[in-house]
Amino acid sequence: MSLSPTSRAGSGLAIGLCPEAVGIVRLGGWRHARVDGQELLEVAEPSADGMAALTTLEHWLQQNRRTPAGLRRWFPAPANVVLSDRLVRYARIPWAGGALSRNEEDALILACFEERYGDMSAWTVRSETGRYGDGQLAAAVPSMLMAGLHRVLQAHRLACRAVSPYFVACWNRWRRDIAKANGKVDAMFAVTEAGTTIIGTLDAAGGGWRSLRSLRAASSELPAVLAREAVLLSLPERPATWVHSPQSDATATAGGNIHVLSTSPGLPAVIVMALSAVGQ
């Protein structure tokens, strides 16, 4: 699993994985990815752990690998995968003074997750490399799902370039634009998808993560949720906020200091998710 910025170059597949759907975008091009086709797959019997969606992806790869109109010219090729935030657990890891060994840092990260979620033995945890003095963003994905993804992609000669949580892929897509527009003031960044909203608060001093919360909230509820979050964190009454949602109804939240980030209006949500794998 990767929390690093995604690559915008090269051909291959970009895949969005949700419990109830899989989005596949076929990419061409060399220096910049070009969309050559897309597939929307519905999952017959969705499961909360994403394994049913993985089975749907595997069946599609098996059916399309050798057909003339299928994937023959994409093999071997890299694949970038984005996971729905409904399959991911998040935590903000506080700054520990910079004196920890790698093992001590891993123990701190695990302790932060266990305090919030309980037993994490069945999860794979990764953290970003934060700047000196800043808190870190960390994410966890079911280990069985991660292992299954690598197995399925490898079996079909697809090199797994990156597996990224949706919030992370979106943040990497827009972080520079937000930093340029916002300057050195407190701000919020939110990604809302199918009733799950991840809200990160950016610290004015260094631009690091001040807080990170995962909530059950639809796009229509977002203005009230953001206002409540600002009060809880003692932020200005209407802090600058950037919101992304793959659903078109997110535009209803725009106004005041809320800026809606959208790249592909009108596309199915899981296809928008897949495109975020390559920064689109």
Q: What is the mean pLDDT of each run of 10 residues along the chain (280 residues)?
A: 58 92 85 79 95 96 69 68 96 80 88 95 88 82 96 90 93 84 77 91 76 85 85 81 76 67 80 86
Please identify, in words, the CATH class of the domain defined by 12-86+141-167.
Answer: alpha beta
**What does each C-alpha distance from 225 to 89, 188, 190, 215, 249 come to in angstroms?**
19, 12, 11, 9, 16
Spatial separation of the C-alpha atoms in residues 79 and 91, rounded to whole Å = 26
Q: Are the C-beta atoms of residues 222 and 243 closer than 8 Å to each other?
A: yes
At 83 the pLDDT is: 97
Q: What is the DSSP string of 182-237?
A: H-SS-EEEEEEETTEEEEEEE-TTTS-EEEEEEEE--GGGHHHHHHHHHHHTT--S
pTM for the predicted model, two decimal places: 0.90
Contact 214, 195 (CB under 8 A): no
Q: Is 58 left (phi over 0), alpha (psi -120 to 50) or beta?
A: alpha
Are the C-beta atoms of residues 85 and 198 closer than 8 Å to each other? yes
User: What pLDDT, on the 0 to 100 scale, is given for residue 68?
Assistant: 45
Q: Which amino acid is at 93?
A: I
* Per-residue pLDDT at 67: 55
The CATH architecture that domain 174-262 belongs to is 2-Layer Sandwich (3.30)
